[in-house]
Amino acid sequence: MTSKKKNLSFFEGKTASDAKGKRFGIVVADWNKEITDSLLEGALYRFKEYQVDKNDIITYRVPGSFELPQGAGILIEQEEVDGVICLGCIIQGETRHFEFIAQAVAQGCMKLGLESGIPVIFGVLTTDTYDQALQRAGGKHGNKGEEAAVTAIQMAALRSV
């Protein structure tokens, strides 16, 4: 089944338990700020829906997606959190730079999560075009920031079992 025109961020009912009392970190890349700010809005919206108090959400900003894992590591060191979301946007250019950055960020997030024991969620768009990114940051394909928040809530709940 193709998802070409489907909003993939549609949530039918609650897909995670309420997260009241949980603390979350969000690390947001400033590169492609229009996109990443929209992802942040989506994550904050979803956290509110799942009863996360705004005072229990810590947001750090970093220059670009490459810095997301390090920013998340600093956040984990400085704050007591149940999960961290890394939000960024990497758009394919004319060189292979895109591949190196995307792979490094994905591996960095995974490594940090495994080493720290704190779920680190990869909420980074990796698209061919700016328009594709827009469509995944609140457009026809939903908002991947919302998906990242639900994933963080689910992983924090799993960690609490």
Q: Which residues contact 151 (CB under 8 A, 6 or more apart)?
A: 85, 119, 121
Q: Which residues contact 34 (CB under 8 A, 6 or more apart)?
A: 134
Pairing of strands 142-143, 137-139: antiparallel
When pLDDT is cut at 50, 70 and 90, the band that residue 20 belongs to is confident
CB 139 within 8 A of CB 133: no
Per-residue pLDDT for 98 more than 90? Answer: no
The CA distance from 120 to 69, in Å, is 9
Is this structure's pTM higher than 0.85?
yes
- The rounded percent of the chain whose pLDDT value lies above 70 is 89
Mean pLDDT calculated for residue range 66-87? 98
Mean pLDDT computed over every residue of the chain: 91
Residue tagged active-site, from 20, 48, 97, 159: 97
| Residue 97 known to be catalytic | yes
Q: Quick: pLDDT tens for 29-72.
A: 999 999 999 999 999 999 999 999 999 999 999 999 999 999 99
The CA distance from 96 to 79, in Å, is 35
Architecture of domain 24-159: 3-Layer(aba) Sandwich (3.40)
**Residue appearing with tokens 């829906």:** 49
Domain ranges, ordered by start, for the chain: 24-159
Q: Which of 10 and 84 is assigned the larger pLDDT?
A: 84
When pLDDT is cut at 50, 70 and 90, the band that residue 113 belongs to is very high
| Residue 11 confidence (pLDDT) | 52
